[in-house]
């Protein structure tokens, strides 16, 4: 494999071979699931049913960081929380085959939650409070934290190094990032939130809803951070946030000073998203999936959004 095409050697035969090597005989059915950072497939089994196999992007996480992801999911599952945790194969959850690291998961059915429902939001709030109660028991050591360094400075450096940002916009972009750096640092210092182990990317696409209620999937972005990070992407407005917190505070106290971090977290997510595209532009899947990132108009819109967020924060 190469940096330019990290999954070039991952053809269907190798996917099926990896599942077979893990002790699950595939029947040949293979469906690629939406994922850009990793490669994820649903595979049918001779014994009936399906497994989901995730191949980790080379070089992104260390083995220790992946082990922390798996251990956290397993810890939540052991506490009978509805999460989709990795399957153990001969005592291991992180497997290797053909130069790739991969993990198997059980397939879980469900659909996206209806976030317009107060009952749904309260249920999700209770679930996240239970996740955070366990997440607060210890710290990640290898997975890092949601902070200005990793979600602002590093992504901005990737944008500037990528050649995607039109040269006439570089000065404006650098100035915007510098302003954001100052204002976000001040905002986090003022709130001084307690950091705990989080899901990290808790949006509607990572929640599966069934008759039994919600289940959390995809802990690939689990990090240390403030509790509100797992709430704000599910709340479309202030009323929805209150409905989430109504459920959350039934199970665990919430420091409402963290609500002041929501605009800051939104800004970090926007910068990180642009930096993520820029850092992955060498992967052939990214220009195909995000062609707008090669257009000056999109960067103008990105800068306008950043300026508006900075004004609101200042």
What's the mean per-residue pLDDT of the chain? 95
Give the per-residue pLDDT at 53: 98
Residue ranges of the chain whose pLDDT lies below 50:
1-2
Rg (CA), the chain: 20
DSSP letters for the chain: --SSSTTTT--HHHHHHHHHHTT--EEEEEEEES-SSSEEEEEEETTSSEEEEEEPPTTTS-HHHHHHHHHHHHHHHHTT--B-PPPPBTTBSSEEETTEEEEEEE----B---TT-HHHHHHHHHHHHHHHHHHTTS--SSS-BSSHIIIIIHHHHHHHHHS-S-GGGHHHHHHHHHHHHHHHHHHHHHH-PPPEE--S--SGGGEEEETTEEEE---TT--EE-TTHHHHTT-SSHHHHHHHHHHHHHHS---GGGGGGHHHHHHHHHHHHHHHHHHTTTSTHHHHH-GGGGSHHHHHHHHHHHHHHHHHH-
Give the per-residue pLDDT at 84: 97
Give the per-residue pLDDT at 8: 87
The residues that are catalytic are 201, 218
Give the per-residue pLDDT at 3: 59
pLDDT in tens, 205-246: 999 999 999 999 999 999 999 999 999 999 999 999 999 999
Give the per-residue pLDDT at 300: 97
The pTM assigned to this predicted structure is 0.94
Give the per-residue pLDDT at 5: 81
Residues 85, 160: Cα–Cα separation, whole Å = 37
Give the per-residue pLDDT at 4: 66
Give the per-residue pLDDT at 1: 47
């Amino acid at each position: 494999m190469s940096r330019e095409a990290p999954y070039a050697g991952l053809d269907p035969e190798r996917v099926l071979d990896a599942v077979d090597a893990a002790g699950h005989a595939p029947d040949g059915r293979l469906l690629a699931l939406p994922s850009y950072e990793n490669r994820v497939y649903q595979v049918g089994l001779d014994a009936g049913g399906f497994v989901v196999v995730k191949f980790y992007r080379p070089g992104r996480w260390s083995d220790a960081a992946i082990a922390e992801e798996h251990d956290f999911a397993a810890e939540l599952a052991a506490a009978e929380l509805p999460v989709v945790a990795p399957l153990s194969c001969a005592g291991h959850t992180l497997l290797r085959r053909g130069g790739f690291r991969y993990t198997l998961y059980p397939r879980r059915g469900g659909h996206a939650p209806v976030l317009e429902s107060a009952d749904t939001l309260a249920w999700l709030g209770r679930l996240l409070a239970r996740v955070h109660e366990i997440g607060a028991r210890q710290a990640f050591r290898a997975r890092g934290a949601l902070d200005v360094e990793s979600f602002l400075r590093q992504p901005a450096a990737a944008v500037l190094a990528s050649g995607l940002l039109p040269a006439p916009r570089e000065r404006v972009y650098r100035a915007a990032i510098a302003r954001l750096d100052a204002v976000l640092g001040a905002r986090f210092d003022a709130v001084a939130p307690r950091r705990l182990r989080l899901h990290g990317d808790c949006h509607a696409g990572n929640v599966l809803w069934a008759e039994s209620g919600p289940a959390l999937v995809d802990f690939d972005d689990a990090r240390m951070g403030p509790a509100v990070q797992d709430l704000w992407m599910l709340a479309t407005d202030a009323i929805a946030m209150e409905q989430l917190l109504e459920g959350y505070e039934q199970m665990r106290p919430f420091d409402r000073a963290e609500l002041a971090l929501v605009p800051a977290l939104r800004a970090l997510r926007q910068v990180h998203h642009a930096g993520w595209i820029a850092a992955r532009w060498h992967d052939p899947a990214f220009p195909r999936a995000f062609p707008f990132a090669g257009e000056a108009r999109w960067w103008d819109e990105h800068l306008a959004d950043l300026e508006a967020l900075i004004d609101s924060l200042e």
